[in-house]
């Protein structure tokens, strides 16, 4: 384990099992359809790569870069779209892929923003759900697992752009970000 991580939250094997479960659920729900997975970069990139491979259905992908954190550990509440979609989502089944659902501000904003483009449907899949921190009225349709209010890194999640490459999810030592 990385020396800056105080404890393991989800091992590589646990993550594989969670992704397989989510892939089965999405495959069943979208049978006969071709959804577009929209990843919210940067944190989702590892999760999304594994998730789309676990879904046994035709699909397309696109990405958005959205910011509400800056270099801190909590959301500023102000959502800024840095990179918009390149695909037209009108009439499409959209699955927003997020690494962690925290305050909900970003996903609430994105859902409204995308609804204006008239998709057939929008659902949200998140690897981690942190309900204790929710301030916006948003709920994921597919959840890997709920976590307590701890600062986690690894498997795409970062602190100040570090730790994304860890193959597991761990709780970062508070002295690193305090």
Report residue 46: phi and psi, to 5°.
-70, -50
- In the predicted model, is pLDDT for residue 69 greater than 70? no
For residue 178, the model assigns a pLDDT of: 83
| Positions marked catalytic | 102
Q: Which band of pLDDT confidence, cut at 50, 70 and 90, is reported for residue 111?
A: very high
Which CATH number characterizes residue 113's domain? 3.40.50.2020
Residue 106 pLDDT: 87
pTM for this entry? 0.90
3-state helix, strand, coil in the chain (%, to 5): 25, 30, 40
Q: Rounded CA gap, 145 and 8, in Å?
A: 14
Residue 76 has a pLDDT of 53
State which residues form the domain around 163: 5-177
Q: How many domains does the chain have?
A: 1
């Amino acid at each position: 384990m990385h020396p800056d991580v105080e404890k393991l939250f989800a091992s590589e094997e646990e993550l594989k099992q969670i992704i397989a479960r989510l892939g089965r659920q999405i495959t069943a729900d979208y049978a006969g359809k071709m959804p577009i997975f929209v990843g919210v970069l940067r944190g989702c990139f590892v999760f999304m790569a594994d998730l789309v491979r676990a879904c046994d259905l035709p699909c397309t992908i696109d990405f958005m870069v959205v910011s509400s954190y800056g270099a801190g550990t909590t959301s500023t509440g102000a959502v800024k779209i840095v990179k918009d979609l390149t695909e037209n989502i009108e009439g499409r089944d959209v699955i927003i892929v997020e690494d962690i659902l925290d305050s909900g501000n970003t996903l609430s904003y994105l859902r409204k923003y995308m609804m204006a483009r008239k998709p057939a449907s929008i659902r949200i899949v998140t690897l981690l759900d942190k309900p204790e921190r929710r301030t916006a009225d948003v709920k994921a349709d597919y959840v890997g697992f709920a976590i307590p209010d701890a600062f986690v890194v690894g498997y795409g999640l970062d602190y100040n752009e570090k730790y994304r490459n860890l193959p597991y999810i761990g709780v970062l030592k508070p002295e690193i970000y305090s």
